[in-house]
Structure 1
Protein backbone atom coordinates (compact mmCIF):
# COMPACT_ATOMS: atom_id res chain seq x y z
CA UNK A 1 0.00 0.00 0.00
CA UNK A 2 2.76 2.42 0.89
CA UNK A 3 4.51 1.97 -2.46
CA UNK A 4 1.27 2.82 -4.26
CA UNK A 5 1.08 6.19 -2.45
CA UNK A 6 4.64 7.03 -3.46
CA UNK A 7 3.87 6.89 -7.15
CA UNK A 8 3.96 10.39 -8.61
CA UNK A 9 0.61 10.00 -10.38
CA UNK A 10 -1.03 8.77 -7.17
CA UNK A 11 0.36 11.69 -5.17
CA UNK A 12 -0.68 14.07 -7.92
CA UNK A 13 -4.19 12.64 -7.96
CA UNK A 14 -4.44 13.01 -4.16
CA UNK A 15 -3.53 16.71 -4.48
CA UNK A 16 -5.95 17.02 -7.39
CA UNK A 17 -8.67 15.44 -5.24
CA UNK A 18 -8.01 17.85 -2.34
CA UNK A 19 -8.25 20.85 -4.67
CA UNK A 20 -11.33 19.26 -6.21
CA UNK A 21 -13.04 18.82 -2.85
CA UNK A 22 -12.54 22.47 -2.00
CA UNK A 23 -13.74 23.51 -5.47
CA UNK A 24 -16.73 21.18 -5.13
CA UNK A 25 -17.69 22.73 -1.80
CA UNK A 26 -17.68 26.19 -3.39
CA UNK A 27 -19.68 24.81 -6.33
CA UNK A 28 -22.17 22.98 -4.08
CA UNK A 29 -22.75 25.86 -1.65
CA UNK A 30 -23.26 28.37 -4.47
CA UNK A 31 -25.67 26.00 -6.25
CA UNK A 32 -27.81 25.41 -3.17
CA UNK A 33 -27.83 29.09 -2.17
CA UNK A 34 -28.85 30.22 -5.66
CA UNK A 35 -31.60 27.59 -5.97
CA UNK A 36 -32.95 27.60 -2.41
CA UNK A 37 -32.48 31.22 -1.32
CA UNK A 38 -32.67 33.12 -4.60
CA UNK A 39 -34.94 30.68 -6.48
CA UNK A 40 -32.74 30.70 -9.58
CA UNK A 41 -33.27 27.83 -12.03
CA UNK A 42 -31.08 24.82 -11.19
CA UNK A 43 -29.44 24.77 -14.62
CA UNK A 44 -28.52 28.46 -14.52
CA UNK A 45 -27.31 28.01 -10.95
CA UNK A 46 -25.22 24.95 -11.76
CA UNK A 47 -23.57 26.80 -14.65
CA UNK A 48 -22.67 29.85 -12.54
CA UNK A 49 -21.46 27.76 -9.60
CA UNK A 50 -19.44 25.49 -11.90
CA UNK A 51 -17.71 28.43 -13.58
CA UNK A 52 -16.82 29.94 -10.19
CA UNK A 53 -15.40 26.66 -8.96
CA UNK A 54 -13.40 26.28 -12.20
CA UNK A 55 -11.68 29.62 -11.60
CA UNK A 56 -10.76 28.54 -8.07
CA UNK A 57 -9.72 25.11 -9.30
CA UNK A 58 -7.46 26.62 -11.97
CA UNK A 59 -5.63 28.82 -9.48
CA UNK A 60 -5.14 26.01 -6.97
CA UNK A 61 -4.37 23.29 -9.53
CA UNK A 62 -1.68 25.26 -11.27
CA UNK A 63 -0.13 26.19 -7.94
CA UNK A 64 -0.32 22.88 -6.06
CA UNK A 65 -1.09 20.03 -8.49
CA UNK A 66 0.36 20.57 -11.93
CA UNK A 67 3.69 22.14 -12.82
CA UNK A 68 3.88 24.84 -15.44
CA UNK A 69 5.26 23.47 -18.68
CA UNK A 70 8.35 25.34 -19.82
CA UNK A 71 7.33 24.91 -23.45
CA UNK A 72 3.95 26.63 -22.95
CA UNK A 73 3.07 30.26 -22.27
CA UNK A 74 0.67 31.10 -19.44
CA UNK A 75 -1.77 32.46 -22.03
CA UNK A 76 -1.77 29.17 -23.94
CA UNK A 77 -1.97 27.22 -20.68
CA UNK A 78 -5.04 29.17 -19.59
CA UNK A 79 -6.61 28.87 -23.04
CA UNK A 80 -6.26 25.09 -22.96
CA UNK A 81 -7.56 25.01 -19.39
CA UNK A 82 -10.55 27.15 -20.42
CA UNK A 83 -11.36 24.94 -23.42
CA UNK A 84 -11.15 21.77 -21.32
CA UNK A 85 -13.28 23.44 -18.64
CA UNK A 86 -15.93 24.44 -21.19
CA UNK A 87 -16.17 20.82 -22.27
CA UNK A 88 -16.41 19.87 -18.58
CA UNK A 89 -19.16 22.46 -18.13
CA UNK A 90 -21.04 20.98 -21.08
CA UNK A 91 -20.77 17.51 -19.58
CA UNK A 92 -21.80 18.81 -16.16
CA UNK A 93 -24.85 20.62 -17.52
CA UNK A 94 -25.81 17.66 -19.70
CA UNK A 95 -25.67 15.29 -16.72
CA UNK A 96 -27.66 17.75 -14.61
CA UNK A 97 -30.30 18.28 -17.29
CA UNK A 98 -30.76 14.59 -18.05
CA UNK A 99 -30.65 13.54 -14.40
CA UNK A 100 -33.02 16.17 -13.06
CA UNK A 101 -35.50 16.63 -15.91
CA UNK A 102 -35.56 13.18 -17.51
CA UNK A 103 -34.62 10.77 -14.72
CA UNK A 104 -36.26 12.80 -11.93
CA UNK A 105 -33.16 12.75 -9.70
CA UNK A 106 -32.98 15.58 -7.16
CA UNK A 107 -30.65 18.36 -8.26
CA UNK A 108 -28.40 17.99 -5.18
CA UNK A 109 -27.93 14.25 -5.68
CA UNK A 110 -27.41 14.74 -9.39
CA UNK A 111 -24.73 17.36 -8.69
CA UNK A 112 -22.74 14.76 -6.77
CA UNK A 113 -23.09 12.26 -9.63
CA UNK A 114 -22.20 14.85 -12.28
CA UNK A 115 -19.18 16.04 -10.29
CA UNK A 116 -17.90 12.48 -9.91
CA UNK A 117 -18.13 11.90 -13.66
CA UNK A 118 -16.61 15.21 -14.69
CA UNK A 119 -13.74 14.85 -12.17
CA UNK A 120 -12.28 11.91 -14.09
CA UNK A 121 -12.52 13.80 -17.36
CA UNK A 122 -10.86 16.85 -15.76
CA UNK A 123 -7.94 14.96 -14.24
CA UNK A 124 -6.96 12.98 -17.30
CA UNK A 125 -7.40 15.78 -19.84
CA UNK A 126 -5.54 18.32 -17.69
CA UNK A 127 -2.79 15.83 -17.07
CA UNK A 128 -2.47 15.13 -20.77
CA UNK A 129 -2.61 18.71 -22.04
CA UNK A 130 -1.29 20.80 -19.14
CA UNK A 131 0.93 18.76 -16.84
CA UNK A 132 4.63 19.31 -16.96
Structure 2
Protein backbone atom coordinates (compact mmCIF):
# COMPACT_ATOMS: atom_id res chain seq x y z
CA UNK A 1 0.00 0.00 0.00
CA UNK A 2 2.89 2.36 0.81
CA UNK A 3 4.35 1.83 -2.66
CA UNK A 4 1.00 2.67 -4.26
CA UNK A 5 0.70 5.90 -2.23
CA UNK A 6 4.28 6.91 -3.14
CA UNK A 7 3.52 6.14 -6.77
CA UNK A 8 0.31 8.20 -6.67
CA UNK A 9 2.21 11.17 -5.19
CA UNK A 10 4.89 10.94 -7.90
CA UNK A 11 2.18 10.57 -10.55
CA UNK A 12 0.48 13.66 -9.12
CA UNK A 13 3.68 15.72 -9.23
CA UNK A 14 4.48 14.69 -12.80
CA UNK A 15 0.84 15.27 -13.73
CA UNK A 16 0.81 18.73 -12.12
CA UNK A 17 3.88 19.79 -14.12
CA UNK A 18 2.37 18.34 -17.32
CA UNK A 19 -0.88 20.18 -16.51
CA UNK A 20 0.96 23.50 -16.16
CA UNK A 21 2.66 22.90 -19.53
CA UNK A 22 -0.65 21.85 -21.11
CA UNK A 23 -2.78 24.72 -19.80
CA UNK A 24 -0.10 27.35 -20.42
CA UNK A 25 0.32 26.37 -24.06
CA UNK A 26 -3.44 26.03 -24.56
CA UNK A 27 -4.07 29.50 -23.13
CA UNK A 28 -1.29 31.06 -25.18
CA UNK A 29 -2.80 29.59 -28.33
CA UNK A 30 -6.35 30.65 -27.45
CA UNK A 31 -5.54 34.13 -26.14
CA UNK A 32 -2.68 35.21 -28.39
CA UNK A 33 -3.31 33.28 -31.59
CA UNK A 34 -7.14 32.98 -31.27
CA UNK A 35 -7.07 29.23 -31.88
CA UNK A 36 -10.21 27.20 -31.32
CA UNK A 37 -10.02 25.56 -27.87
CA UNK A 38 -10.20 22.03 -29.29
CA UNK A 39 -7.26 22.62 -31.64
CA UNK A 40 -5.29 24.48 -28.95
CA UNK A 41 -6.09 21.68 -26.51
CA UNK A 42 -4.85 19.00 -28.90
CA UNK A 43 -1.57 20.82 -29.56
CA UNK A 44 -0.95 21.53 -25.87
CA UNK A 45 -1.92 17.96 -24.90
CA UNK A 46 0.56 16.46 -27.34
CA UNK A 47 3.39 18.71 -26.17
CA UNK A 48 2.72 17.96 -22.50
CA UNK A 49 2.42 14.26 -23.39
CA UNK A 50 6.08 14.13 -24.43
CA UNK A 51 7.11 15.47 -21.01
CA UNK A 52 4.63 13.16 -19.29
CA UNK A 53 5.98 10.03 -20.99
CA UNK A 54 9.60 10.78 -20.16
CA UNK A 55 8.88 11.79 -16.56
CA UNK A 56 6.36 8.99 -15.89
CA UNK A 57 8.64 6.25 -17.13
CA UNK A 58 11.62 7.69 -15.25
CA UNK A 59 10.05 8.64 -11.91
CA UNK A 60 6.65 6.96 -11.55
CA UNK A 61 6.50 3.59 -13.29
CA UNK A 62 9.28 1.03 -13.46
CA UNK A 63 10.13 -0.62 -16.77
CA UNK A 64 8.95 -4.20 -16.97
CA UNK A 65 11.81 -6.59 -17.71
CA UNK A 66 9.27 -8.86 -19.39
CA UNK A 67 8.24 -6.17 -21.93
CA UNK A 68 10.13 -4.69 -24.86
CA UNK A 69 10.45 -0.89 -24.95
CA UNK A 70 8.60 -0.74 -28.26
CA UNK A 71 5.57 -2.40 -26.64
CA UNK A 72 5.80 -0.07 -23.64
CA UNK A 73 5.76 2.92 -26.00
CA UNK A 74 2.91 1.39 -28.03
CA UNK A 75 0.74 0.87 -24.94
CA UNK A 76 1.58 4.40 -23.78
CA UNK A 77 0.74 5.81 -27.22
CA UNK A 78 -2.57 3.95 -27.57
CA UNK A 79 -3.68 4.91 -24.05
CA UNK A 80 -2.62 8.51 -24.77
CA UNK A 81 -4.60 8.65 -28.01
CA UNK A 82 -7.66 7.52 -26.06
CA UNK A 83 -6.81 10.15 -23.43
CA UNK A 84 -6.53 12.79 -26.17
CA UNK A 85 -9.98 11.79 -27.43
CA UNK A 86 -11.43 12.14 -23.93
CA UNK A 87 -9.66 15.51 -23.56
CA UNK A 88 -10.99 16.80 -26.88
CA UNK A 89 -14.55 15.64 -26.21
CA UNK A 90 -14.64 17.38 -22.83
CA UNK A 91 -13.07 20.58 -24.26
CA UNK A 92 -15.64 20.63 -27.05
CA UNK A 93 -18.52 19.98 -24.64
CA UNK A 94 -17.28 22.72 -22.32
CA UNK A 95 -17.80 25.43 -24.93
CA UNK A 96 -20.37 23.86 -27.28
CA UNK A 97 -23.22 25.85 -25.73
CA UNK A 98 -21.54 29.20 -26.47
CA UNK A 99 -22.54 31.07 -29.64
CA UNK A 100 -20.37 30.49 -32.69
CA UNK A 101 -18.89 33.98 -32.47
CA UNK A 102 -17.88 33.53 -28.81
CA UNK A 103 -14.21 33.43 -29.70
CA UNK A 104 -14.41 37.10 -30.68
CA UNK A 105 -17.39 38.68 -28.90
CA UNK A 106 -17.15 36.78 -25.60
CA UNK A 107 -13.45 35.99 -25.62
CA UNK A 108 -12.96 36.06 -21.83
CA UNK A 109 -15.99 33.81 -21.27
CA UNK A 110 -14.71 31.43 -23.96
CA UNK A 111 -11.29 31.28 -22.27
CA UNK A 112 -12.91 30.73 -18.86
CA UNK A 113 -15.13 27.90 -20.13
CA UNK A 114 -12.18 26.37 -21.98
CA UNK A 115 -10.09 26.37 -18.80
CA UNK A 116 -12.91 24.90 -16.71
CA UNK A 117 -13.36 22.14 -19.29
CA UNK A 118 -9.58 21.58 -19.32
CA UNK A 119 -9.56 21.03 -15.56
CA UNK A 120 -12.37 18.46 -15.84
CA UNK A 121 -10.62 16.80 -18.80
CA UNK A 122 -7.33 16.65 -16.91
CA UNK A 123 -8.89 14.91 -13.91
CA UNK A 124 -10.72 12.35 -16.09
CA UNK A 125 -7.67 11.68 -18.30
CA UNK A 126 -5.33 11.45 -15.27
CA UNK A 127 -7.52 8.73 -13.74
CA UNK A 128 -7.66 6.91 -17.09
CA UNK A 129 -3.86 7.17 -17.53
CA UNK A 130 -2.98 5.97 -14.04
CA UNK A 131 -5.24 2.94 -14.21
CA UNK A 132 -4.05 1.85 -17.67
CA UNK A 133 -0.36 2.50 -17.00
CA UNK A 134 -0.45 0.80 -13.61
CA UNK A 135 -2.25 -2.21 -15.09
CA UNK A 136 -0.20 -2.63 -18.27
CA UNK A 137 3.15 -0.88 -17.85
CA UNK A 138 4.25 -0.97 -14.22
CA UNK A 139 6.72 -3.65 -13.20
CA UNK A 140 5.86 -5.97 -10.32
CA UNK A 141 7.24 -5.04 -6.90
CA UNK A 142 10.92 -5.91 -6.41
CA UNK A 143 11.31 -9.61 -5.72
CA UNK A 144 7.80 -10.36 -6.96
CA UNK A 145 7.36 -12.43 -10.12
CA UNK A 146 5.15 -11.17 -12.94
CA UNK A 147 1.67 -12.67 -12.87
CA UNK A 148 1.96 -15.31 -15.59
CA UNK A 149 -1.58 -15.10 -16.95
CA UNK A 150 -1.93 -11.32 -16.78
CA UNK A 151 -2.47 -9.30 -19.93
CA UNK A 152 0.59 -7.17 -19.19
CA UNK A 153 2.82 -10.24 -18.89
CA UNK A 154 1.39 -11.84 -22.04
CA UNK A 155 1.88 -8.58 -23.99
CA UNK A 156 5.39 -8.28 -22.63
CA UNK A 157 6.37 -11.87 -23.39
CA UNK A 158 4.96 -11.56 -26.90
CA UNK A 159 6.81 -8.26 -27.46
CA UNK A 160 10.14 -9.81 -26.51
CA UNK A 161 9.84 -12.42 -29.26
CA UNK A 162 8.32 -10.17 -31.94
CA UNK A 163 9.44 -6.95 -33.52
CA UNK A 164 7.15 -4.35 -35.05
CA UNK A 165 7.15 -3.96 -38.83
CA UNK A 166 9.93 -6.50 -39.29
CA UNK A 167 12.49 -4.50 -37.27
CA UNK A 168 15.59 -6.39 -36.18
Provide TM-score, normalisation by structure 2: 0.73
The answer for unaligned runs of 5 or more in structure 1 is 1-5
> C-alpha offsets along residues 17-56 of structure 1, whole Å, 9 cap, x if unaligned?
0000000000000000000011111110000100111111
Secondary structure of the residue aligned to 2:64 is coil
Q: Are 1:54 and 2:49 counterparts?
A: yes
2:72 is aligned to 77
Q: CA deviation at 1:102?
A: 3.5
Q: Distance in 2 between matches of 1:10 and 1:102?
A: 39
Q: Are 1:120 and 2:115 counterparts?
A: no
Higher helix fraction: Structure 1 or Structure 2? 1
Q: Are 1:45 and 2:40 counterparts?
A: yes
Provide TM-score, normalisation by structure 1: 0.92
RMSD across aligned positions (CA): 1.4
Q: Distance in 1 between matches of 2:133 and 2:97?
A: 30
Secondary structure of the residue aligned to 1:71 is coil
2:83 is aligned to 88
The answer for unaligned runs of 5 or more in structure 2 is 99-109, 140-168
Q: Are 1:33 and 2:33 counterparts?
A: no
How many residues matched?
A: 127
